[in-house]
Amino acid sequence: MSRNGVRDADVVALGRPRSAEAPARKRVVELDVLRGFALCGILLANVKPIAHRGGELGTAQLPETTAATVLHLLVDQRFFPIFSVLFGVGFALLFESARARARQPRVVLLRRMLALLAVGLLHFLVLWKGDILTVYAVLGLLVLLPSTWLPRRVVAIAAGVLIVVSVALFGGWYSLVPGLFLLGSALTRYGVVGRIGSGPRTTARLGLVFALVAVPVAVLQLRADGTAARIAYPAAGLLTAGAYVCGMVLLLRTRLAGPLTTVFRPLGRMALTNYLTATVLVLAISGVAGDADRWSVGGVVAVAATVLCVQWGWSVIWLRRCHQGPVEWLWRWVTWWQRPPLRRPR
């Protein structure tokens, strides 16, 4: 019996942890690094749309130059698929944790998505119409939450079908998110995420296939018109994203693992905080730098680099003193309906 007269069993039934001392799941370093890496690419793609104060993705175009074409091929629709898959991975990992810690694990997931929806709506209404958090939250409720009742085989098949349909009929973008969410969930439930970093030969072969197929598809994206171009654009993005992930996982097994972890992991551990504050920083810079329509590719890269350097600095400093970022901490509080520790013990 708790001090307020509510039985402990009733608290658990509401989705709170069985024990305040329940051990937290050990973080997977590779996932943090990939999340930070994806965040960098997403910011690079979003700088001009954000600077247009209210524009959605794709509404702010760079002048047609060779540099802009290269940036387009390397960035557009190349990083948000990584982030979307990682969101599905995180959801599945949280469900595993919630099943071990709460009597009603789906209540935990429901609170998490509703909290994200509230944050996304605030971001959308106050700062930027291109916010993707609302999309993630709604699709998390409509796709990921129901998928927890489905066998993993069905989830994997549904992921493949949804991705193919999105590419073939809708040209990617937001329509890809449901399939990518389910792909991340399926990879987790089949144990692939738990084995990330093992089997470098398989990873290398898969990455090589992604890269070799991505090149001609990207060329088709540039040269084709109509239906072929509409299909090639998201297809090239998915293939390039796959090559990026495989390449990063392989690099994390080399001597570059230390520097890459140092650069990307702090950004990835505070991904939600950094995603939100990036909007504020880009808007502040655009207010000083002037008309974003005049920004060159170099200017866009410089703005993104400036924002990321600031965010990396405060992420490192914050994480030395705290377990997680401020928005992540609040999100975790609402998720488990119990205040988690924030500051690290001295």
Long-range own/partner contacts, residues 68-76 (CB < 8 A, 24 or more apart): 68/297, 69/222, 71/44, 71/297, 71/300, 71/301, 73/218, 73/221, 73/222, 73/236, 73/240, 74/240, 75/41, 75/44, 75/45, 76/45, 76/237
Residues 6+ apart with CB under 8 A from 267: 35, 36, 39, 40, 274, 308, 311, 312, 315
pTM equals 0.89
Count of all residues that appear for the chain in the document: 346
Give the mean pLDDT per block of 10 residues along the chain (346 residues).
Answer: 41 46 66 96 92 57 72 90 97 95 94 97 92 96 97 97 94 92 97 86 94 94 87 94 96 95 97 96 89 83 96 97 96 95 88
| Residues pairing with 343 in the sheet | 322
Helix (H, G, I), strand (E, B) or coil at 56: coil
Q: What SS3 class is residue 122? A: helix
**Local structure of 322: helix, strand or coil:** strand
Distance CA 24, CA 204 (A): 32
In degrees, to the nearest 5, what angle opens at C-alpha 120 toward C-alphas 115 and 124? Answer: 155
- Three-state DSSP state, 306: helix
Q: How many CB atoms lie within 10 A of CB 18?
A: 14
Distances (CA, A) of 192 to 186, 189, 243, 265: 9, 8, 17, 20
Domain-wise residue ranges, the chain: 24-336
Identify any residues that bridge with 322 across adjacent strands, giving them in sequence order: 343
pLDDT value for 194:
87
Backbone angles phi, psi at 343, to 5 degrees: -80, 145
Residue-level pLDDT at 59? 43
Radius of gyration of the chain (CA): 21
Task: Report d(CA 312, CA 39) in Å as an integer.
Answer: 11
Residues 6+ apart with CB under 8 A from 218: 73, 232, 236, 240
